[in-house]
Amino acid sequence: MMLSKRVQSVSPSATIAITTRAKQLQAEGVDVVSFAAGEPDFDTPKCIKEAAKAALDAGDTKYNPRSARALLEAIAAKLRSENGLKVAPEQIVVTFGGKQAFYDTFQATIDPGDKVLIPAPYWVSYPEMVKLAGGEPVFLATTAAGGFKITPQQVLDAADGAKALVLNSPSNPTGVTYTRDELHAIARAVLKTDLIVLSDEIYENLTYGDAEPTCFATLDAALPERTLTINGLAKTFAMTGWRLGWAAGPSELIAAIRKIMSHETTNPVSFVQAGALAAYTDPRAAEAVVEMRKEFERRSLHMAERLNAIDGVEALQPTGAFYCFPDVSAHYGRTIGDVAVGDSLSFAAAALDQANVALVPGVAFGEDRCVRLSFATGMEQIDKGIDRLAALLK
Ligand code: PLP
């Protein structure tokens, strides 16, 4: 079969591949501790499930579901009250997860050869989606010493001939949250260029310590016309399987995404939109988010502390999302069990094969010195998995 050059240029998602392998081993009876998945271990709050069930029972099973308009209004209200961003419901599009919001945005904005600036380490899907749109990802390198944050100067240096800048705070995979001042400085740089900004704020409700989320589009009056805010319910409300996300921004871009969707998925699932409406409007959902955030914060402190107690493992304290992204490169060059460890892939292979611990090699995110561990798993599992890693790396 002759597959398209387009699809041949793309790598499959490493996170999905490792999660699938860990689940397969678990199904075979192997006691694997998985730090691979990027999804909350909590169940979706009950009031959200009930709203979706009620919509099904009420026959809300057609195209253009009944709750669609109310959901757009609820998202606009959330953006106004929580983020201080004023957008009309017409400036919002609801999608199949944040993933579709990004995919269709790149389809709507990128012509063959267009450059898209992506801070590295990055979420695995950005570069592949840019390539699928015919564009060229250009990485802005960051280091652990620099807090895994880009500088305004990097944006200015790379902006010439580039079309878009992706921002992701709090970040997958680094767990880093930019401060408002840092984003302000980046905003000032952006405004000296022609870049549009795709601001991925999907982890905004998961910040820890003094860190606070910032809605990038609110940082300057000139930003809304060139910023698309992308978000979704998966991480905040423990709704990964529901596949519901959204994007808010310039009307022309939102209309373009809608046009693509009209030939693609038409609209997200009818009763899922009813559940999403409850997520944004039922106070019980908001209460559940508060509890989940608290628990993630407890785990973030515990996991980073335990990782840093292992020789040759250096982790920044996460200030958001649910990942630790430690530098493990001090172990490269060793043979662990019968695996010669020389990079993040072989490190992850040794962890899985020798210690039954699944983690994601940093190379998938553009940083080969690190591996990603998700703390979206219970404390007992965190301790069990890190005990195993500590024993393996002795
Ligand atoms: N953005 C980031 C940074 C993510 O980590 C993810 C999911 O892992 C997404 C967007 C997309 O999430 P979803 O499509 O599940 O809404």
Shortest-distance atom of ligand 1 to CA 233: 16
> Ligand 1 pocket: which residues have CB below 6 Å?
38, 97-99, 123, 168, 172, 200, 202, 232, 234, 240, 245
Q: Ligand 1 centre and the CA of 99: distance in Å? A: 6
The three-state (H, E, C) secondary structure of 220-245, written as one string? CCCCHHHEEEEEECCCCCCCHHHCCE
Q: Which pLDDT value is given to residue 172?
A: 97
Q: Which pLDDT value is given to residue 21?
A: 81
Q: 110-164: per-residue pLDDT in tens? A: 999 999 999 999 999 999 999 999 999 999 999 999 999 999 999 999 999 999 9
Q: What is the DSSP string of 297-321?
A: HHHHHHHHHHHHTSTT-B-PPP-BT
Q: Ligand 1 centre and the CA of 256: distance in Å? A: 21
Would you state the structure tokens that stand for residue 283, as one six-digit string?
């106070």
CA nearest ligand 1 atom 5, residue: 172
Q: 249-308: per-residue pLDDT in tens? A: 999 999 999 999 999 999 999 999 999 999 999 999 999 999 999 999 999 999 999 999
Q: Ligand 1 centre and the CA of 221: distance in Å? A: 27
Q: Which residues of 208-235 are buried (b: 16+ CB within 10 A; e: fewer)?
A: beebebbbbbbbeeebbebbbbbbbbbb
Strand partners, 118: 139
Shortest-distance atom of ligand 1 to CA 172: 3
Angle made by CA atoms 155, 14, 199, in degrees to the nearest 5: 30
Would you state the structure tokens that stand for residue 214, as one six-digit string?
């910032």
Q: Which pLDDT value is given to residue 65?
A: 82
Q: Ligand 1 centre and the CA of 8: distance in Å? A: 23
Average pLDDT of the chain is 96
Ligand 1 mutation target, pool 100, 102, 123, most atoms within 8 A of CB: 123
Which strands sit side by side in the sheet containing 196-200, from one edge to the other?
Answer: 92-95, 245-248, 227-232, 196-200, 162-168, 115-120, 136-141
C-alpha to C-alpha distances, 32 to 241, 323, 358, nearest whole angstrom? 22, 18, 7
Q: Ligand 1 centre and the CA of 330: distance in Å? A: 30
Q: For 337, left (φ over 0), alpha (ψ -120 to 50), or beta?
A: left
CB 228 within 8 A of CB 198: yes
Shortest-distance atom of ligand 1 to CA 15: 8
Which single residue is written with the structure tokens 């519901």?
A: 244
Strand partners, 107: none
Q: CB atoms < 10 A from the CB of 288, how many? A: 22
Shortest-distance atom of ligand 1 to CA 171: 3
Q: Ligand 1 centre and the CA of 203: distance in Å? A: 9
How does pLDDT run along the chain (394 residues), one tens digit per residue?
999 988 888 887 777 777 788 888 889 999 999 999 889 999 999 999 999 999 999 999 999 888 899 999 999 999 999 999 999 999 999 999 999 999 999 999 999 999 999 999 999 999 999 999 999 999 999 999 999 999 999 999 999 999 999 999 999 999 999 999 999 999 999 999 999 999 999 999 999 999 999 999 999 999 999 999 999 999 999 999 999 999 999 999 999 999 999 999 999 999 999 999 999 999 999 999 999 999 999 999 999 999 999 999 999 999 999 999 999 999 999 998 888 999 999 999 999 989 999 999 999 999 999 999 999 999 999 999 999 999 999 8
